[in-house]
Structure 1
Amino acid sequence: MNTFSFTPGMVVVNAFNRETFIFTKPEKPEYAEFEVHLEPGGSGGGNAISHVHPATDETFTVRSGRLGVSINGVMNTLESGESITVPRGAPHFFVNAHEGDTEIVVRFTPAQKQLRFFLNFSTATVTHPEWFSAKGEPPLLLMALTLHTFKDHFYVAGPPIWLQKLLFAALSPIARLRGYRILVGPHTEIG
């Protein structure tokens, strides 16, 4: 069984998206916060795919570099020291917006289990890189299992959320049969 413990300062490198997650603070009900370092060409949200968080606001604060955040199809460019909040339910994605590294702080308010969601997904890119395409795209079955486990945390923008929920619920048992697993908390594995 693959298990892990969350410790502040835990670093997970997602080489596919050229992003490094630094989990700096423990999960709290009020908010979840972590750092993301983007290399040149790096992106977040699954290869910069437009997505929504229906039950939480997401705030990006740039520590260094330049960040592009698309919200409702409008690209916003943030410089060091600037912040922007994506309201819950708004389609968005983010990318490194210059040729150097960009360091940001990401905060979800309220927390839900966003810290565990991102820790799970980023850890899977390291522990099971064979699950991902050469471009870092996760297979539909892994997405279904993850998004069904973390309901109302993350959905792809476009198809109605109710339809995605039905699809993920139907595909999750198949994902488990095919060997996909996710960690939902310290020392807990489901699948």
Structure 2
Amino acid sequence: MDGKTLTFRDGHSVQILGTLIDDDGTQHLHLRHEIPRPGRLAGPHWHPELAETFTVTSGRLRCRVDRRTVVVGPGETVTVHPRQVHEFWSIDPDSAIDHVITPPGRHREMFETWHDLDAAGRTNMYGVPRNPLDLALFWDLQDGYLAGIPVPLQKAILPRLARLARRRGRGNARH
């Protein structure tokens, strides 16, 4: 449902604004993040096919994209292209970011699953799933790879763990 807001235990909220479609048929998932406290938002990772655009509407965001670090403030935008390693931190309290993902992949489901895991107390203070099976489910939905871990290793282990997690019902945050 468009307009749905996912609020995490640390107060960070993600509003799903909807899926936009360009004249050429390209789909974009549009989100809005409200971040009450400074801190890490995402560790280093990359996507083979997705591009992401982050526009700061309030506060400041520190972004590292392919080893280049920039700080952006209100009205400024950072675009991450496919295959670029990226990670983010909010610098100021009460920051807000518009986030567009092209194509959406499974990111909507990833944010919803992440929220469910967090609401069930299955993430640590940084929002990372505690259980390796939950982490594999999260990884499977992010349409990308963790930086620093060989891709063949991720492809060999994490999909198997995600399948095991689903067979055990871990996709349901109550388990």
- Say whether the 8 Å CA contact 1:51–1:154 is kept in structure 2: yes
- Say whether the 8 Å CA contact 2:62–2:90 is kept in structure 1: yes
After superposition, give the CA deviation of every residue in 1:122-173 in whole Å (9 maximum; x if it has no partner): 23212x21x223443212211212333x3x7132111122321211122224
Query: Given the two structures, how large is their TM-score scaled by the length of structure 1?
Result: 0.78
- Say if 2:128 is the partner of 1:137: yes
> What's the secondary structure of 2:49's corresponding residue?
coil
CA distance 1:134–1:84, change in 2 (3 Å):
closer
Aligned to 1:23: 16
Looking at structure 1, the residues matched to 78 and 91 of structure 2 have their Cα atoms a distance apart, in angstroms, of: 15
Aligned to 1:34: 31
Looking at structure 2, the residues matched to 69 and 118 of structure 1 have their Cα atoms a distance apart, in angstroms, of: 20
- Say whether the 8 Å CA contact 2:40–2:88 is kept in structure 1: yes
After superposition, give the CA deviation of every residue in 1:26-63 in whole Å (9 maximum; x if it has no partner): 47552111001112224322xxx111122111110011
Structure 2 residue runs without a partner (length 5+): none
- Say if 2:114 is the partner of 1:124: no
The counterpart of 1:75, out of the listed 69, 72, 76, is 69
The counterpart of 1:102, out of the listed 60, 82, 95, is 95
- Say whether the 8 Å CA contact 1:19–1:43 is kept in structure 2: no
Higher RCO (CA-CA < 8 Å; seq separation 6+): 1
Aligned to 1:156: 146
How many pairs are equivalent? Answer: 169
- Say if 2:6 is the partner of 1:12: yes
Looking at structure 2, the residues matched to 135 and 84 of structure 1 have their Cα atoms a distance apart, in angstroms, of: 23
- Identity among equivalent positions (%) equals 25
> What's the secondary structure of 1:24's corresponding residue?
strand
Aligned to 1:44: 41
Looking at structure 1, the residues matched to 29 and 128 of structure 2 have their Cα atoms a distance apart, in angstroms, of: 25
Aligned-pair CA distance for 1:109 = 1.4
Looking at structure 1, the residues matched to 13 and 166 of structure 2 have their Cα atoms a distance apart, in angstroms, of: 27
- Say whether the 8 Å CA contact 1:25–1:34 is kept in structure 2: yes
- Say whether the 8 Å CA contact 2:62–2:91 is kept in structure 1: yes
> What's the secondary structure of 1:44's corresponding residue?
strand
Looking at structure 1, the residues matched to 166 and 96 of structure 2 have their Cα atoms a distance apart, in angstroms, of: 35
Structure 1 residue runs without a partner (length 5+): 1-6, 184-190
- Say whether the 8 Å CA contact 1:39–1:96 is kept in structure 2: no
> What's the secondary structure of 1:50's corresponding residue?
strand
> What's the secondary structure of 1:120's corresponding residue?
helix
1:39 alignment partner AA = P
